[in-house]
Amino acid sequence: MLEVSDIVTAYGKIEALKGVSLSVDAGRITCLLGPNGAGKTTLMYTIAGILRPRRGSVRLQGAELVGQTADRVVSSGIALVPENRLVFPQMSVAENLAAGAYLRRDRSTIAADTERMFARFPVLKERRAQAAGTLSGGEQQMLAVARALMSRPKLLMMDEPSIGLAPLVVAEIFRIVEELNRDGITIFMVEQNAHLALKVAHRFFLMEQGRVTFAGAPGDVAQDDVIRRAYLGSA
């Protein structure tokens, strides 16, 4: 579904991505592992059209995304749930959801989708008029996911959705990820918790220092010594 080929993205002279190639299969959950500073966030921002790569291509179902604006990337079916949630803190839950649909023109279906989000995330319904900044971390993560879903993505990218959340909340987020995937949404997520990711993801990539250094299925992850030591805490 998504083909990333030989992407080079730099901040000034520093190349954060040094020729990254990977693919995300339709209908699956793909997990990107890697240490801090490996370039995972930079890759998601590049795919989302927020950063422009110096070289390479990103194709969604064959259509080139490099050179498109971030708005066009959203319209073509990719939504990003950024790291640390980044909801609009002063705006209400309902306003945050409306913001997620800002590129859509179909007002009546937007209202119906808002209700669907409230059905999927009941806690957001209870707090629909509350300022997003006053929600708990887990609730903000739910809101960030729901806001991204308001653009009706085919591909949902999630940057470390479990970071800083209590285990029960993380389990709930992962349950939602699986549910969304069963509903047909393709998932591409950065996740440091490999134990958890192994329970849901179908395919894994490891990035180190701006390069992809491993690609494989869950069974390959458990057998790879480097990954086992770094991400599964076993020798």
Binding-site ranges for ligand ATP (CB under 6 A)? 11, 14, 16, 34, 36-42
Minimum CB separation of residue 136 from ligand ATP in Å reads 22
Size of the chain, expressed as the number of residues it contains? 235
DSSP output for 92-139: BHHHHHHHHTTT---HHHHHHHHHHHHHH-HHHHHTTTSBGGGS-HHH
CA atoms within 13 A on the CB side of 186: 17
**Integer Cα distance of 43 and 36 in angstroms:** 13
Q: Which is nearer to ligand ATP, 41 or 57 (CB)?
A: 41
Smaller CB separation from ligand ATP, 117 or 227: 227
Question: For residues 42 and 141, which CB has a smaller minimum distance to ligand ATP in the complex?
Answer: 42
Q: Smallest gap, in angstroms, from Cβ of residue 105 to ligand ATP?
A: 33
d(CA 3, CA 63): 10
| In the complex, minimum distance from the CB of residue 53 to ligand ATP, in angstroms, rounded to a whole number | 13
Please identify, using beta-carbon distances, which residue of 50 and 131 lies nearer to ligand ATP: 50
- State the nearest-atom distance from the C-beta of 173 to ligand ATP, in Å: 17
Contact of 68 with 46, CB cutoff 8 Å: no
